[in-house]
Amino acid sequence: MVETVETYDGWYSLHDFRTIDWEKWQQTEKTKQTNALNELHELLAKWQLIEDNKQGSHALFSIIGQKADLMFMFLRPTMKELNQLENEFNKTMMAHYFKPIYSFVSIIEKSSYTKPTQNPYEDPAMRSKLFPVIPKTEYVCFYPMSKLRGETNNWYQLPKSERGKMMFDHIKTAKPFTEKVKRIITGAMGLDDYEWGVSLFCDDPLPFKKLIYDTRFDEVSAKYGNFGSFYIGTHVSKEEINAYFLD
């Protein structure tokens, strides 16, 4: 029997992608636009209070390209809270101009091929990874991925030691980028179509390309990686919301 790997789980995560009906928005009278934006700001203030109280986190990104217009990223202690905030936004005036295009539901996950020296949930460094504040860098890169279960190459039939070696080599390749590129890894087995979500954060998009290019040559990616669509976006702060919709 193949030995599994213990995982440590943190906050639940929702990546919520939307397109905007710009024609409908631009045809809306200014008073209604203002009311919709004010309601959105009230909701953002509510989310910020939750983040300030260390009970979750959120961020908004403008997606570059035609896959979506905006991505909301949320972290919450429970799946139910993700559902509640999603429904709360769907009931706002602003949501009338949005159309859901894609979503990814998961939970922050850290796995270990070695036995920890202490309880991970009591380790401040580990807790900061399991219950983080979403980095408010200039750029985000998100993509879902799974490990291959093909007839010839099947990740889930490899011995734990072999999987561990490949993962340590993968981490070694990515290490030179850790100062510039922050990441949040979420597990989605049983929660979504892919098995993991990778969210990368940086103030320059070029390191995303270099990091992903270098790690593609690692055996774990080259032989066993199965990747979904990549989404690249720029952070939209609360101070930039009005300009995004009105300029």
Long-range contacts of 209-217 (CB under 8 A, 24+ apart): 210/177, 211/174, 211/177, 211/181, 212/141, 214/173, 214/174, 215/170, 215/173, 215/174, 217/173
Please list the active-site residues: 143
Query: What type of residue sits at position 131?
Result: F
Q: Which of 100, 121, 173, 150 is nearest to 11 (CA)?
A: 121
Query: What type of residue sits at position 105?
Result: V
Q: Which of 172, 175, 183, 169 is nearest to 223 (CA)?
A: 169
Measure CA 131 to chain center.
13
Please report which residue ranges of the chain form alpha helices under DSSP H. Answer: 22-26, 30-52, 79-90, 124-130, 160-174, 206-216, 219-222, 241-246
User: Strand, coil or helix: what is 189?
Assistant: coil
